[in-house]
């Protein structure tokens, strides 16, 4: 079986309307892929930066995959949340990106979005916070049922991922 190591960090986020951000992340991979070691989901710390618009998470990722096929190459998906001064959490963005297929270090920026909701919901959100969330979080990384969603642009999640492949060339796979 070919193996892949994914070693890197969810570095942080920028461009969101407020500070005090954290991120829930997870890995989604097809049936041929198996996680041999490492955490496949997690939640970062909550950062409120002192000087700039960049929440630092420095959250390590170290995963070891083994695979029998290329279908369903792993993806990382994120939910960025905001923690307000009352300790309430509010959804700030969804996003996903594929793990790069070529070996090496990759600096990545993943744009995020959130559901817009109806006008009434938007006005309510302005006063009391909150806002619509996805009932089915599969929509973050699947393209099947997106067409009836209305979304708004949010900030970016910054990643630095190292990809190391083993024995892919032995099976005739070019990455």
Partner 1 sequence: MEGVRSDRASVFLLMVNGQIETADFPEHDDIYCRYCFVFGQDWVITSGLEEGITQMTRKSRDDRQAFVINFPLDVSFKSTNPHGWPQLVVHAYGLDIFGKDVVRGYGVVHVPITPGRHTLRLPMFVPESSSRFQQLLSWMMSRRPEYTDPKVVAHGEGREVTRVRSQGYVTVTLNVVMKDMKKLGYDVTPSDVSHPVMADSGAPLTATTAPSS
Q: List residues near partner 1 by CB under 8 A.
A: 5, 7-9, 11-12, 20, 22, 36-39, 42-51, 54-56, 58-64, 83, 102-105, 162, 164-170, 172, 174-175
Place of tokens 């829930």: 24
Q: How far is the CB of 160 from partner 1 (least distance, A)?
A: 8
In the complex with partner 1, the residue whose CB is nearer, 22 or 94, is 22
Q: Is the sign of the CA dihedral 107, 32, 60, 14 positive or negative? A: positive
Q: How far is the CB of 153 from partner 1 (least distance, A)?
A: 24
Task: Please give the Cα distance from 170 to 121 (Å, whole number).
Answer: 55
Two tokens, residue 98: 């594929």
In the complex with partner 1, the residue whose CB is nearer, 48 or 122, is 48
Q: How far is the CB of 10 from partner 1 (least distance, A)?
A: 9
In the complex with partner 1, the residue whose CB is nearer, 23 or 117, is 23
Two tokens, residue 83: 């923690």
Place of tokens 């390590």: 60
* CA distances for 21 relative to 33, 71, 76, 145, angstroms: 31, 33, 18, 28
In the complex with partner 1, the residue whose CB is nearer, 50 or 119, is 50
In the complex with partner 1, the residue whose CB is nearer, 25 or 117, is 25
Helix (H) or strand (E) run with residue 58 in it: strand 54-67
Helix (H) or strand (E) run with residue 163 in it: strand 151-166
Longest dimension (CA), the chain: 59
Q: How far is the CB of 55 from partner 1 (least distance, A)?
A: 7
């Amino acid at each position: 079986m070919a193996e892949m190591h994914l070693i890197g960090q969810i570095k942080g986020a920028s461009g969101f309307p407020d500070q005090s951000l954290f991120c829930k992340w997870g890995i989604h991979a097809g049936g041929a892929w198996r996680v041999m070691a490492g955490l496949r989901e997690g939640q970062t710390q909550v950062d409120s930066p002192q000087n700039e618009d960049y929440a630092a998470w420095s959250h390590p990722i170290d995963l070891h995959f083994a695979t029998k096929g290329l279908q369903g190459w792993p993806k990382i998906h994120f939910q960025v949340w905001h923690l307000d001064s009352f300790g309430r959490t509010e959804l700030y963005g969804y996003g996903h990106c594929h793990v790069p297929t070529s070996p090496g270090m990759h600096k990545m920026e993943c744009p995020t979005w959130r559901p817009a909701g109806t006008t009434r919901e938007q006005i309510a959100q302005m006063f009391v916070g909150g806002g619509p969330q996805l009932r089915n979080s599969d929509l973050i990384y699947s393209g099947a049922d997106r067409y009836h969603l209305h979304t708004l642009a949010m900030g970016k999640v910054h990643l630095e991922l190292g990809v190391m492949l083993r024995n892919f060339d032995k099976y005739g796979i070019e990455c």
